[in-house]
Amino acid sequence: MTNTAVPSFQHRTVLLDEAIDALAITGARADGTYVDGTFGRGGHSRLLLSRLGQAGRLIAFDKDPQAIATAEQIADPRFTIVHDSFATMSEALAERGVAHVDGVLLDLGISSPQVDDAARGFSFKNDGPLDMRMDTTRGISAAEWLATESEQTLEKVIRDYGEERFAFQIAKAIVARRAIEPISGTRQLAGIVAGAVKTREKGKDPATRTFQAIRIFINQELEDLEAGLKQAYDALAPGAIMAVISFHSLEDRIVKRFFAERANVPQPDRRLPIRAADLPQPQMKLLAKIKPSAREVDENPRARSAVLRVAMRLPAGGGQ
C-alpha cells in the first residue's frame, strides 16, 4: 500500500494573492465554478475558497498522493479533489456535470515539499532514491528509465527538456556508468553529470539542468501542459479567466504562445472584399504578465523564476 501520510515539509505558495486576484472572483462570479489545476499543498485552493460564495464550486487536480491526502482534509462541500493530471480536465468536468467554468488556475512545476523530501528523488541536495515521479502510484521511476533508454534518447531529452549544451557528454557518461553499476541514487547521478560537465554558470550546480530534464520527461509535464491549456480554454465560459504560473522558459514559452495565438489574430489584406463580420476575431484578451515582488523573492528564493500570465476568453465574435 502506498504511504500517503502528509510530511511536515513547509511550502510557500508562489504569487498567492496575485493569482487569485487575477481570477476576479467578485460579485456574481463568486458563485461560479473554478478549477485549480495543481492543488499542491492547497495555498491557492484555500484562498480561492475564501473568495467563493455559498453557491460557488472549486474542482482541484493533483497527481501527487501526498497532495491528495492534504486535500482530503478540507471539509468543504464546495470543494472537490481529483487524483489526476489537469490534462484530464475535460473528462473530469464532464463526469461532474460541469459544462463551463468561470476561471482556471494552473500552477506548474514542482512544489517545495516534493523537492525537500529526499525520498522523492527530485533533488540532489540530499541523497535519495532516483524516483522523480509526481504520482508515485503509476509509471516508471527515473532510475528505471535511465537503466534502459538508448543513449540517443537520453541525449535528446537532456538537451531538449534541460536546455543542456553538454547533453551528449552526459548521456555518454550515464550509459558508461550503468554498464558498471545501476544508477539508483540522486547523488550518484549528480556525480556522473558533474564529471561530464566541464563548465557551468557561477552558482549553478552542474546537475540542475539534467535533473530538470529527466523530471519533465518522466512526468510528461510539457505534454500535460499543452493538453491542459487547450482543455482549460475549451472549458472557459465567455468572460472567464485563465491564469498560469510557470517556473522555467520551456513552460512559459508554451503558455505565451498559446495565449498569443488566440489573442493576436492575423488580419487579411484590407484591399480584399471581406465583410467586417467575416474577419477573424480574437478568442482571448491578454490581461497581465506578473512576476514576484522583490520581497517575495527575498522571502522565498524559489519564486524568482515564476511568471504569471493572465488572459480572458472573449465572447464569440471577439467582443469585450
239 plus 292 within the same structural domain: yes
| pLDDT value for 276 | 52
Residue 124 among known ligand-binding residues: no
Residue 83 among known ligand-binding residues: no
233 plus 105 within the same structural domain: yes
Contact 40, 62 (CB under 8 A): yes
Decide if 60 is inside a domain.
yes
Q: Encode pLDDT of 216-243 as tens digits.
A: 999 999 999 999 999 999 999 999 999 9
| pLDDT value for 279 | 60
Decide if 117 is inside a domain.
no
170 plus 232 within the same structural domain: no
DSSP-assigned letter for residue 169: H
Helix, strand, coil share (%) of the chain residues, nearest 5 = 45, 15, 40
Cα separation, 219 vs 175, in Å, equals: 22
Residue 278 among known ligand-binding residues: no
- What proportion of the chain, given as a percentage, has pLDDT over 90? 80
184 plus 202 within the same structural domain: yes
Decide if 120 is inside a domain.
no
Residue 317 among known ligand-binding residues: no
Decide if 189 is inside a domain.
yes
Cα separation, 279 vs 282, in Å, equals: 10
53 plus 198 within the same structural domain: no
pLDDT bin (cut points 50, 70, 90) of residue 53 is very high
Residue 107 among known ligand-binding residues: yes
CATH number of the domain encompassing residue 198: 1.10.150.170
Q: Encode pLDDT of 190-212 as tens digits.
A: 999 999 997 777 778 899 999 99
Of 23, 40, 41, the closest CA to residue 32 belongs to 23
Report H helices in the chain: 16-22, 43-51, 65-71, 89-95, 112-116, 142-148, 151-162, 167-178, 186-196, 208-218, 221-235, 249-263, 294-299
Domain containing residue 214: 136-218
20 plus 97 within the same structural domain: yes
CATH number of the domain encompassing residue 287: 3.40.50.150
Cα separation, 317 vs 262, in Å, equals: 12
**Alpha carbon 151 to its chain's center:** 28
106 plus 20 within the same structural domain: yes
- At residue 268, does pLDDT exceed 70? no
Residue 152 among known ligand-binding residues: no
Residue 43 among known ligand-binding residues: yes
Report how many domains make up the chain: 2
58 plus 206 within the same structural domain: no
